[in-house]
Amino acid sequence: MSLPEFYLNNDAQSFAFSTCRERWPKILRDAIETVSELDNPEKVKASLSKLLDEINEDGPIVVFAEKEVQTIPGLLSYNKVLSSLRSEKISLTWHTAPWLFTECYLYRRIDAIIKSQYPEFDVFHAKKQQSFKTQAAAVQDLASRYRAISEDIAAKKANVELLFREFLDICLWGNKIDLSLLANKTQEEVHSGQNAEERQKAEKNILANDSDKIWAHLSSTKSARVDIVLDNAGFETYTDLLFMLFLLTVGLCETVTVHCKTRPWMVSDTMKKDIDILLADLVDEDFFPPHEDLKFIHDTFAGFIKEGKMSIVDLEFWTLGLDYTHLDPEGDSEYGRELYKELASSTVVFIKGDLNYRKLTADRKWPKTTKFSDAIGRLAHNGIRVAALRTCKADVCVGLPEGVDEELCKLWAEQTGEEGALWCSSGNWAVISFN
């Protein structure tokens, strides 16, 4: 089967188009402003500004220098992809190259520049914290809900299947928050959909829903190991952790492995240290109004870590510019082969968010009725059981019933006056896909 093309930065109908022309420059300008507050920022500021010019002027995508590759070995994989794209005669400038690859490459350029002087500095830290703080009410509500149900569970009064679906949903819509989108939306737009009533209304917006299959698989497996590949820090990670606490508490799994990013990524993605920060925030009276239910969540979580039931890991693979067909024993990435061994022994690997979904489907122009299993290539057959939970914030989407895309294109064009295909980048719809 020949593969569809990648979404490209010069596709006028794609969200890629405005992303590389408006959103990335804004993200970079913000980063420059943030580093300006550090000691002796001139060199780093100059390098970031040069990168900004490259983007604005549609310059060529250049390889990482040997010195950079020596200090950060993962960058070699970027140079390899660049040379293979070049051999396929794919245009490689900021406004024309494949969207997914250039987006990953951009964050690695920012990271390499900042690391050259401030190895530990997370340029997006303040944004992540500000956003989590604005979610105080929803955080509190969910903590109380979780505590109430854990009492029901202990008293054997809980309907575990119903609760499973509720927490899966909470975890799914937690993905609506993404700070890279704040570059052109208001906080309010990005944060909507976080309370129970709104979630219920949004049920019809889940366009492909394999939650029955996930439930059937998980509930029939003894001593399950669950993995979750996190996306955004703060509120989304909080919903992910609650879902994982729930699975452990009701015995739907025995262990959980939580996967984080090794570096600042896509503005809001979670690094290991962000989980420590999140836990500290829950019990910090200056951060959230103090509440015993928040302390309950904090202590339950800390308890599972102490018992070794939950472990937190970060691996280089997640911030490479490679799609997830490289998670394969025969794949050509050593990082991918190593991680494959881990994930193949998992009962379910929950993969969160938009960027991860784009990597699962290689960000190709699949017809939207393509089966999920066809779009994920080798991953469909190599023993990793993937459950993608994603709100749609980019063009690629598969597994939809016939006619849905056409209907939504029409609706979106009528409602917004924008290109109809942009419904799929709005974050208003979602998919739960299991293979």
Binding footprint of Mg ion on the chain (CB under 5 A): 231-232, 266, 269
What are the CA-CA distances from residue 148 to residues 7, 163, 170, 247, 300 (Å)?
A: 45, 12, 16, 15, 14
The entry of ligand F6P, Mg ion, none near residue 47 (CB within 5 to 8 angstroms by kind) is none
Helix (H, G, I), strand (E, B) or coil at 399: coil
Q: Which helix or strand (DSSP H or E) is residue 259 part of?
A: strand 255-260
Which residue in the set 266, 294, 327, 409 belongs to the binding site for ligand F6P (CB under 6 A)? Answer: 266
Q: How far is the CB of 7 from ligand F6P (least distance, A)?
A: 10
By beta-carbon proximity to ligand F6P, the closer residue of 103 and 405 is: 103
Residue with tokens 């999920």: 372
Q: Does 394 bind ligand F6P (CB under 6 A)?
A: yes
By beta-carbon proximity to Mg ion, the closer residue of 190 and 207 is: 190
Which residue in the set 20, 181, 360, 400 belongs to the binding site for ligand F6P (CB under 6 A)? Answer: 181
By beta-carbon proximity to ligand F6P, the closer residue of 122 and 354 is: 354
Q: How far is the CB of 184 from ligand F6P (least distance, A)?
A: 10
User: What is the phi-psi region of residue 402: left when phi exceeds 0, alpha when psi lies from -120 to 50, beta otherwise?
Assistant: beta
Per this entry, what is the length of the chain? Answer: 435
Which residue in the set 74, 354, 426, 430 belongs to the binding site for ligand F6P (CB under 6 A)? Answer: 354
Q: How many CB atoms lie within 10 A of CB 260?
A: 21
Q: Please, are residues 177 and 133 in contact by the beta-carbon 8 Å criterion?
A: no
- Distance between terminal CA atoms of the chain? 20
Which residue in the set 393, 400, 408, 409 belongs to the binding site for ligand F6P (CB under 6 A)? Answer: 393
Subset of residues 274 to 333 that bind ligand F6P, contact rule: CB under 6 A: none
Q: Does 102 bind ligand F6P (CB under 6 A)?
A: no
Q: Please, are residues 236 and 264 in contact by the beta-carbon 8 Å criterion?
A: no
Subset of residues 225 to 254 that bind ligand F6P, contact rule: CB under 6 A: 231-232
Which residue in the set 175, 270, 333, 435 belongs to the binding site for ligand F6P (CB under 6 A)? Answer: 175
Stretch that binds ligand F6P, among 49-57, 119-127, 175-183, 303-311 (CB under 6 A): 175-183
Q: Does 424 bind ligand F6P (CB under 6 A)?
A: no
Helix (H, G, I), strand (E, B) or coil at 395: coil
Residue 2: partners with Cβ closer than 8 Å, 6 or more residues away: none
What are the CA-CA distances from residue 222 to residues 100, 203, 228, 347, 434 (Å)?
A: 37, 30, 18, 9, 19
CA 176 from centre of chain: 10
**Residues near ligand F6P, by CB under 6 A:** 15, 19, 103, 175, 178, 180-181, 231-232, 266, 353-355, 358, 393-394, 425
